[in-house]
Amino acid sequence: MIAQYNASAAIRRFGAIIASVFLAMLNALPGLAAAQSTSTATAVPDTSKLAPSSREWEKILPLAVDLKADGAAASAAKKPILLFFNLTGCHYCRGALREVIVPMYRDAGWRAAIEFRQITIDDGRKFIDFDGRSIESIEFSRARKGGFTPTVMMVDGDGKLLGEPLVGIANFDFYGAYVEEMVKKAIAAVRSGAPATAGNKAQS
């Protein structure tokens, strides 16, 4: 059951500290420094003036346009891809973006370690799938079992799952920790060359 929004500032601060420590450890790994130095500067919108209920939160992450090209680039850089499945006007999707996903995207360290792509399942758009074929957002979400929003999944450059997707939100207080844990595991899997796949699992 999805709980009502009850974010805890203290827990979010703790999560930010954990993320900083983790990224510092990643910086010591071979290859990450190079990835950061070769990473192109990304213009990230300023969110400081956005109201919590603003639908502009749904327009910040890069949309999926050509996942085949994204996958090739991610594979070359040994980076996983975070796919965020959004539904227009979804309160919980906005909350996930506002509290966790967008702050991660705005952090240069996370952008150097992973790629971010958003699929808004009801926007009627078509884009290039990992296999090179054109696909509509809703068809892609059904094939990926991302129809229940918000869903966050980590994939490698071939589009293969890296661990269990995070489906829904049971508790905003711990949502950030859940996302960061799955991202860390995906980074480790890609860097080790031995990604593990799993099915979707709802957050409990």
Mean pLDDT over all residues of the chain?
Answer: 82
Comparing CA positions, the residue from 59, 84, 85 lying closest to residue 148 is: 85
Mean pLDDT of 23-43: 46
- Kindly state the tokens that stand for 14: 């703790």
> Would 94 be classed as within a structural domain?
yes
Comparing CA positions, the residue from 61, 64, 58 lying closest to residue 135 is: 64
| Structural domains in the chain (count) | 1
- List pLDDT tens digits, range 151-203: 999 999 999 999 999 999 988 899 999 999 999 999 999 999 865 555 544 55
> Would 41 be classed as within a structural domain?
no
Mean pLDDT of 76-80: 97
| Cα–Cα distance for residue pair 33/24, rounded to 1 Å | 11
> Would 3 be classed as within a structural domain?
no
> Would 111 be classed as within a structural domain?
yes
Residue 198 pLDDT? 52
Candidate from 5-9, 39-43, 186-190 with smallest mean pLDDT: 5-9
> Would 26 be classed as within a structural domain?
yes
Q: What is the CATH number of the domain that holds 128?
A: 3.40.30.10
Q: What global pTM score does this model have?
A: 0.76
Domain residues for the domain of 161 are 9-36+55-202
> Would 43 be classed as within a structural domain?
no
